[in-house]
Amino acid sequence: MHSTAARLLFPLVLSVPVVAQQPLAPPVHFQKLAHTYSIVAWDSVTGDLGVAVQSKFPNVGGIVPWAVAGVGAVATQSLANTAYGERGLELMAMGASAEEALRIVMRTDTMLGDRQVGLVDARGGAASFTGERTFDWAGGRVGCGGTPGAGIVETAEPGMCEHVGGKGAVIAGHGFAVQANIMVSDRTVLNMARTFQSSRGGLADRLVAALRAGQAGGGDKRGMQSAALLVVRAHGGYLGANDRFVDLRVYDAAEPIAELERLLALHRLHFFPSEPADLVPLSPAILRQLEPILLREPAGQAEKWLAKPQGSVTPVFLAALRDFMYWENYDVRVRMDGKIDRVVLADILQKHGK
């Protein structure tokens, strides 16, 4: 059981001798390859699973990343075969490790040499494969642990270690897998692996940091165009109604990673719940900052959130602040306990303070 490979067309001018009056078309095989670097990873603290990817191709987020909370994450690229996402996740849901799922799907792949895939499962198992017909530079790295497979173990700074694999190699390990094709050099995956291992914070931030480091290592030979970030967490989506903790796509941009970072900051404000350390009491000083805003908002409407000053944190004030915060899309950070999220407060004052 596997789905049809996604066929992506990529025009490219090759350096070949010119034949007079004869336009030269790139080989069909080359036209279908995605020029991409990605990372799939597991967060041992939260159990989050995620994928981050950048490519010289529009809307890479609609092709490469796949993830299911509590199951696994997959990046399928080069001549992307969606079976690695669909079937791979099915197999991991049934208990297969990332490496086992990868090898099972590989058995029925008739164009294996064109593929590049990274998988991670909910126990932290990771695997990566790069086909023999992918274009230079192409290869991958996975975190140490498990069976090295065809790769070698390379130790860098204390606490950092990766299994390294080139074309034709399946490498397996733990925690993360990075893979890239048509890169300037292997520095892209090296930077991504080292940055992911050394970075701190939530999985989304670490994945984007790895992308940024990959680009700093040379990145795609053809430049940048699109990027995506997918992180899944059980009940981590909007108000706990789904598992899409972070699902961001940059379809087409001159600086897609910078745009992805901007979108992540916006997403964090409007979709991440408050951190306990960010909750502060609605003090008299904060009341004096917020009450004038509630007395004049919504702009352009006769009826305001507050009809008259309250002078203290009354139930009327709290209800007005609640309604204002819903209006401004701070839904997941609304409170009625006499506290406010200082991150939200700063954003409110920046947008509405006078």
Give the model confidence (pLDDT) of 139-156 as tens digits.
Answer: 999 999 755 444 555 655
The model's pTM is 0.84
Question: How many CB atoms neighbour CB 267 within 10 A?
Answer: 16
Q: What is the pLDDT confidence band of residue 28, given thresholds at 50, 70 and 90?
A: low
- What pLDDT score was predicted for residue 63? 92
As a whole number of angstroms, the distance between CA 302 and CA 275 comes to 35
Look up the CATH number of domain 28-271.
3.60.20.10
- What pLDDT score was predicted for residue 155? 55
Residue 29: pLDDT above 60? no
- What pLDDT score was predicted for residue 24? 43
Record the tokens describing residue 74, joined without a space.
């997959």
**Rounded alpha-carbon distances, angstroms, from residue 164 to 14, 150, 157, 185, 239:** 29, 8, 16, 14, 40
Torsion sign across C-alpha atoms 125, 43, 248, 246: positive
- Across the range 26-53, mean pLDDT stands at 80
* Beta carbons of 67 and 120 less than 8 angstroms apart: no
Domain segments of the chain as ranges: 28-271, 276-352
As a whole number of angstroms, the distance between CA 204 and CA 272 comes to 12
- What pLDDT score was predicted for residue 224? 82
Segment 74-99, tens digit of pLDDT: 999 988 888 999 999 999 999 999 99
- What pLDDT score was predicted for residue 124? 97
What's phi and psi for 65, nearest 5 deg?
A: -85, 140
As a whole number of angstroms, the distance between CA 292 and CA 325 comes to 15
- What pLDDT score was predicted for residue 151? 52
As a whole number of angstroms, the distance between CA 116 and CA 277 comes to 42
